[in-house]
Chain A
Amino acid sequence: MTAPLSTPASPAARYDGVAMAFHWLLGLAIVLTFALGVYMADLPFSMTRLKLFNWHKWAGVAILALSALRLLWRLSHAVPADLPAPALQQRIAHWVHGLLYLLFFAVPLAGWAYSSAAGFPIVWFGVLPLPDFVPRDKDLAEVLKEAHGLLAYGLAALVLAHVSAALKHQLIDRDGLLLRMLPGRR
């Protein structure tokens, strides 16, 4: 039995405001940073490429830092109970969310390491030098470049799956799932 769209979600059935803010802000940041990465990756050397690479790294590190705060919030605050659904769907949803969190860290960490290995330490917003936690090594840089790309595309695929599932719930199942991540009457 699915609930009609017009029923207001009960207080316990929504994510809290901070969780919502993290979700949409980081969702947008991740999509834009991914798109920037895909666009810039094969550009020939130019001033534009230099700027784009640095902006991409600054955004990636910001996403990493915010994801850490987000994870702390997630671990210390209640989330809405699962919507009624077959157990398998619920399990898949949990696994996808878990993998998303994993990639929120793995993708920027791989990118940071790649930059260090390639001999370009990250200076956040041009002012804060970040440590290199891997040595300068051309071969390592090649491996990390591949890893960063692979993980990023993996994240993109999961994001698509996540968005598709949310739309499926909202538009086909009509169970009001999307409203849980949107502010509204309590």
Chain B
Amino acid sequence: MRSLFTALLSLAAAVFTLQAAPAQAQAQLQAAQSELSFTSRQMGVPVDGRFKRFDAQLNFDPKKPEAGKVGFSIDLASVSLGAPELEAELAKAPWFDSKKVPQASFQSSAIKAAGPGKFEVAGKLTIKGLTRDIVVPIALSQAGGLSTASGAFVLKRLEFKIGEGEWSDTSMVANDVQVKFKLVFKGIAAL
């Protein structure tokens, strides 16, 4: 009788322990403190822009990066270049075609550690219905309960048919677009 009671107690303890330690907690994006921006080049002139509306779903434990998952979605219609005529142009079909395909998205397939506070996120980026594999290096820093994931990568706009027809001329708008981001999350475990 006593060994059965002890066994049940141990089992209960084990179950409680399992439930008390979340393997992958969902982190919350602090959108107001986050930034997603890019720089394109028009006839050599750098033109900066940013997206005002985007969201991220992140399940990540820095101590177990391989088990992590990140999803990202961007409202392309929220693009801001400080020039209304350029924004109106970007919404059109040869560019984002944002009325028909308003969301761009990213889904990670693998996350791996790449040094202290550094990670490499591989995944699929989908814009305008076209999907490409990308690998994004990320630096993670933490302070005051918040984690900041920052990084940059070069996007080749023609791979996503951003700027079609006459606008595929890369001497007018360069193929390389520098994308930069700083995403602030609450609820990521310690590094």
Residues of A within 8 A of B (CB): 44-45, 47, 50-51, 54, 118-123, 126-127, 129, 138
Contact = CB atoms under 8 A, between A and B. Distances in A.
Contacts, number: 35
B47 A123 contact: no
A50 B83 contact: no
B86 A127 contact: no
Given A47-B167, A47-B172, A50-B172, A121 B85 contact: no
Interface in B46-80: 46-48
B47 A120 contact: yes
Classify the secondary structure of B's interface with A. Answer: mixed
A44 B171 CA distance: 21
Contacts of B12: none
B10 interface: no
Nearest to A47: B166
A122 B43 CA distance: 10
B44 A45 contact: no
A122 B42 CA distance: 11
Interface of A is mostly: loop
A54 B46 contact: no
Contacts of A51: 43, 172
A123 B40 CA distance: 14
Given A121-B46, A123-B45, A45 B172 contact: no
B47 A126 contact: no
A129 to B, nearest CB: 8
Nearest to A119: B82
Interface in B136-187: 166-167, 169, 171-172
